[in-house]
């Protein structure tokens, strides 16, 4: 039988904490279906049409995929 003080360092420790301001729901409210919330990746600043010159083909190529990566960087001591 396992001791109450047995400790396995390889096992993750899970601590469940109930927030102080958690709302108590009725069983009917718990069974109610909640519509999912979905984030849509729409960048209003991304260009609609881009064309780049291909030196290999010596012509302009339309690029339908736009890079949606945004880099946010804050460094202490640097001001803009």
pTM for the model: 0.30
> Is-contact 60 51, C-beta < 8 A?
yes
The HSE-up count of residue 14 (CA atoms within 13 Å, CB side) is: 2
Predicted local distance difference test score (pLDDT) of residue 66: 76
Q: Who wins on pLDDT, 44 or 6?
A: 44
For the CA atoms of 72, 78, 79, 80, the dihedral, rounded to the nearest 10 degrees, stands at -60
Task: State both tokens at 45.
Answer: 């600043």
Confidence of residue 41 (pLDDT cuts 50, 70, 90): confident
With 90 as the cut, is the pLDDT of residue 72 above it?
Answer: no
Average pLDDT over residues 25-35: 92
């Amino acid at each position: 039988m396992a001791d109450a003080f047995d400790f396995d360092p390889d096992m993750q420790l899970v601590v469940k904490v109930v927030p102080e301001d958690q709302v108590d729901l009725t069983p009917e409210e718990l069974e109610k279906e909640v519509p999912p919330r979905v984030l849509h990746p729409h960048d209003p600043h991304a260009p609609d049409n881009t064309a780049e010159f291909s030196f290999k083909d010596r012509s302009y190529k339309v690029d339908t995929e736009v890079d949606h990566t945004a880099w946010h960087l804050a460094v202490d001591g640097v001001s803009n």
